[in-house]
Amino acid sequence: MRIEVGGPGIKRIFLITVGLLILSLVLPVAVSDRIQRFYLIAQACLSGGALILAVSMALKRKQGIRHITTDLSTNVTLCVVAGVGVQALYTGLPLIPLVFFVGFPYTVFARRRFLFWIPAAVLSVAAAGRYLFLNDPELILWTAVFLLYSAVLGDRMYRDGRRIEHLGSMVKRINSDAREMMGRIGEEGFSESMDRIRGKEAAIAIAIDEDDFLQRLLRWGCRVFNARTGILLIPDEDEPEFFRMRAAVHRGVVILEGLVPANKGFIHITREREGILCVSDASSARKSLSFYPDGTKVGSFLVKIVKDPKWGMDADDGTGSEKIRCVLYFDSETVNTMSLDDITAKRLDEFGSLVLKAMDTAGHLQKLTTEMSSRDAISRYAQGLTQSLKPEIIAGMALDAVMDAVPKCDGAVVMLFDEGLSVVDSKGDLVKKVGSERILRNEPSHTGLLLRRFAELESGEGIGDARGAEIVINGLQAKRSPFFRKGEQLGDIISFAAIPCFMGEGDTTLKAAIAVVSSQENAFGKEELEELRTIAGMMAPALDNAIQHKQVDELSRTDGLTGLLNHRTFQIVLDGKLNHLSRGNFRSVAAIMVDADRFKDVNDTYGHPVGDEVLVELARRLKMGIRKNDAVARYGGEEFAVILDNAGEKEASEIAEKMRHSIRSRPFATTAGKIQVTASFGFSVFTGTDGCVRKELLEQADQALYQAKTGGRDRVVSYMDIETDATEIEPVAGDAITAIQEGRR
Active site residues: 638
Helix/strand/coil for 419: coil
User: 467-475: long-range contacts at Cβ-Cβ below 8 A with a sequence spacing of 24 or more?
Assistant: 467/533, 469/500, 470/497, 470/498, 470/499, 470/500, 471/446, 471/496, 471/497, 471/498, 472/496, 472/497, 472/498, 472/524, 472/529, 473/446, 473/497, 474/521, 474/522, 474/523, 474/524, 475/521, 475/522
d(CA 227, CA 247): 15
Helix/strand/coil for 322: helix
Contact of 119 with 105, CB cutoff 8 Å: yes
DSSP per residue over 627-682, as a string?
A: -TT-EEEEEETTEEEEEEES--HHHHHHHHHHHHHHHHHSPEEETTEEE---EEEE
Say which amino acid occupies 456.
E
Q: Give CA separation, 625 vs 162, 235, 642, 652, in Å.
A: 85, 67, 10, 11
Instruction: Report the run of H or E that residue 187 belongs to, with start and end.
Output: helix 138-187
What is the 8-class DSSP label of residue 192? Answer: T
Say which amino acid occupies 495.
S
d(CA 23, CA 30): 15
What is the 8-class DSSP label of residue 467? Answer: G
d(CA 21, CA 81): 8
**Euclidean distance between the first and the last CA atom of the chain, given in angstroms as a whole number:** 88
d(CA 675, CA 669): 7
Contact of 101 with 145, CB cutoff 8 Å: no
Strand partners for 516 = 412, 497
286, 291, 294, 296 alpha-carbon torsion, rounded to 10°: -70
Which strands, in side-by-side order, build the sheet including 259-261? 259-261, 242-250, 229-235, 324-332, 300-307, 276-279
